[in-house]
Amino acid sequence: MIRPVNPYPVGLDLEGRRVVVIGGGSVAQRRIPVLLDSGAVVHLVSPEITPTLQGLVDSGRIRWEAREFRSGDLDGAWYVVAATKDSLVNARVAAEAEQDRTFCVRSDAVHSGTAVTPAVVRRDEMLVAVLTGDRARTAEARDVVARALDGASAGTPDAEEELRGTVALVGGGPGADDLMTVRGRNLLSRADVVVADRLAPQRPLGELRPNVEIVDAAKIPYGRSMAQDAINQVLVDRAREGKFVVRLKGGDPFLYGRGYEEAQACAEAGIPCSVVPGVSSALSVPALAGIPVSNRGMTHEVTIVSGHLPPGHPGSLIDWEALARMRGTLVILMGVKNSPAIAESLMAGGRSADTPAAIIVDGSLDGQMTHRCTLGTMADTLAGRDVRPPAIVVVGAVAGLPQFLTRA
């Protein structure tokens, strides 16, 4: 079926409704976070999926059927996205959706589905959707609207020329797309290639021009990941092709983000590289949970440590005994698996088992949750609550302060 050239614009309420996505590649990776933000119950069918989508599966945010599409997969769906690399499969999906009177988007043939995904601009409570019938024109129009809303003029040709063949290391903040810096959003909108982490804001990727290459550089804890050397090579190779490359990271590029290694790789290859700092989850996530990492008369130091390696590991560079003797706030990143061992080490070094602690899961995202405990009860809390990454652990008196804040 060929879709009419003048579609009827409408906003869908997908809250709590079944949406089926067929295909687990980069297109699905762009679309699914937006669908989740709308409240959709997403069911994914694909033999393979990207590491970032795997992270959504592991966290229970989407359901995945690891197989090829088959008839009946669309039963009960309110909306369908056909996003495989096989046009024949996408055509089958679209045909079955039409038979079921379910609107369907085809990623490979925009005019062959019964719906079209618009280019979207979100600013606070305002949502602007743009449809022109041509993907390139749609993205261009969306970018003009976005710049107008941001009070910025369109980039000049000279400015675009200066970006070619360069790399920008952009900190995406703790996860929510509206906590990304204005400069980061601006550079992201001008990228030819985006090398994105799993914990980077995902929704802005759905707003990129359709010809932008997205490289999934997700690092799932103790699971699938893209080797750092491979990431470095992608940055260098794409920049040498004359493209503007954005390395989009969660948090800040230079705080456990391996940003310096990537900047060094670019420098050694003669590739100009810039850094856009991001809002670090080490400070912002406790704040969003109502926990000040410092408080007058209570703590005079804040220590941020990596929990990726447990105490006693031969590769660890952390003096846990020294940390146990300190009286201030300890913020542990990447430490969900090793937090019980860390708690034991801190208590063995002198910290009281009654020391307040807080475990903040999915900081800044809709599912953010805080589990209060103590050093002595941390292991039981982690197990009993089935805590999974991403989560941040705060240890110290500030973790026991009463909660006054509401989510903004």
The span from the CA of 163 to the CA of 75, in Å, is 47
Residue count of the chain: 408
Strand partners, 195: 215, 247
In sequence order, what DSSP letters do the residues of 105-119 get, joined into one string? Answer: EESS-GGGSS--PPE
Query: How many CA atoms, within 13 angstroms, populate the side-chain half-sphere of residue 11?
Result: 9
Reduced to 3 states (helix: H, G, I; strand: E, B; else coil), residue 260 is: helix
Catalytic one of 197, 216, 252, 362: 197
> At a CB cut-off of 8 Å and minimum separation 6, what does 252 contact?
171, 259, 277, 278, 279, 280
**Is 219 a catalytic site residue?**
yes
Which residue has tokens 């009654």? Answer: 354
Beta strand 126-130 pairing with 119-123: antiparallel
Torsions phi, psi for 368 (to 5 deg): -55, 135
**Is 243 a catalytic site residue?**
no
Buried b (16+ CB within 10 A) or exposed e, 35-62: bbbbebbbbbbbeebbbbbbbbeeeebb
8 Å CB contact between 47 and 67? yes
Give strand ranges (E) for 70-192: 79-82, 103-106, 119-123, 126-130, 167-171
Catalytic one of 108, 177, 216, 219: 219
Peptide bond into 390 cis (omega under 30): yes
Q: Which residues are catalytic?
A: 197, 219
